[in-house]
């Protein structure tokens, strides 16, 4: 019973629609009606600006981190990564936002911030390296997921490897339309790294 409640709590934590809340508070808008229509951090940055977007990504990361800490806080014998995965599912399919959520990137990172802080730090560095090279947030997210999978193999932590593979699969699946746009050369590139507004 306690284990079921833990997973429900982790899911509900992940379901908190950070982008929707910050968009309403900062600009009085529903970001689902603008840009890509996604509740994730990328759309928040594009629609709400750097300050509000930073709040959204921090909140989305924190959801994963807190969810992974729940078994420790509540003294329940569940692996932290499993509780984190429940939060990622909540982030992708939030009950508080008609089951239309983000793309699993930031919240997945938040889980690893709890479980493997060094991996999280290197993920951030690798993400920005890929972003600098490709100018695609979506492609950088996918490539970072692949990097994370390779990194996890060297930890010899079978549970970590399995969960990272699942999380990376989530990220790739949630970016399937972005992949099509990249192939068709219609995916928007970020411009701030090139010095343009």
Q: How far apart are CA 46 and CA 42, in angstroms?
A: 6
27: which 2 tokens?
Answer: 């600009």
Q: How confident is the model at residue 41 (pLDDT cuts 50, 70, 90)?
A: confident
Residues 105-154 pLDDT 10s: 999 999 999 999 999 999 999 999 999 999 999 999 999 999 999 999 99
Q: How confident is the model at residue 194 (pLDDT cuts 50, 70, 90)?
A: very low
DSSP-derived secondary structure letter, 29: -
Q: How confident is the model at residue 192 (pLDDT cuts 50, 70, 90)?
A: low
The gap from C-alpha 108 to its chain's centroid, in whole angstroms, comes to 5
Residues 67-105 pLDDT 10s: 999 999 999 999 999 999 999 999 999 999 889 889 999
Q: How confident is the model at residue 36 (pLDDT cuts 50, 70, 90)?
A: confident
Q: How far apart are CA 147 and CA 168, in angstroms?
A: 10
Average confidence score pLDDT of the chain: 92
Contacts with 15 (C-beta within 8 Å, 6 or more apart), sequence order = 90, 91, 93, 94, 95, 96, 97, 101
Mean pLDDT of 177-190: 92
Q: How far apart are CA 196 and CA 184, in angstroms?
A: 23
Q: Percentage of residues in the chain with pLDDT exceeding 90? A: 75
CA nearest neighbour of 67 among 39, 87, 50, 52? 87
125: which 2 tokens?
Answer: 């560095």
Q: What is the pLDDT of residue 44?
A: 87
Mean pLDDT of 183-195: 77
Radius of gyration of the chain (CA): 16
Residues 9-19 pLDDT 10s: 999 999 999 99
Q: What is the pLDDT of residue 38?
A: 83
């Amino acid at each position: 019973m306690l284990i079921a409640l833990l997973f429900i709590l982790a899911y509900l934590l992940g379901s908190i629609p950070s982008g929707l809340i910050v968009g309403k508070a900062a600009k009085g808008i529903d970001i689902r009606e603008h840009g890509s229509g996604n509740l994730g951090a990328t759309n928040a940055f594009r629609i709400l600006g750097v300050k509000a977007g930073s709040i959204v990504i921090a909140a989305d990361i924190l959801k994963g981190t807190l969810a992974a800490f729940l078994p420790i806080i509540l003294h329940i014998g569940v692996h932290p990564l499993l509780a984190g995965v429940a939060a990622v599912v909540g982030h992708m399919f939030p009950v508080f936002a008609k089951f239309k959520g983000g793309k699993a990137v930031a919240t997945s990172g938040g889980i690893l911030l709890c479980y493997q802080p060094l991996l999280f730090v290197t993920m951030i560095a690798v993400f920005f390296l890929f972003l600098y090279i490709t100018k695609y947030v979506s492609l950088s997210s996918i490539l970072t997921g692949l990097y994370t999978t390779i990194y996890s193999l060297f930890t010899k932590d079978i549970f970590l490897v399995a969960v990272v593979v699942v999380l990376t699969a989530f990220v790739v699946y949630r970016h399937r339309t972005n992949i099509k746009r990249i192939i068709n050369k219609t995916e928007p590139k970020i411009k701030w790294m090139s010095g343009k507004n």
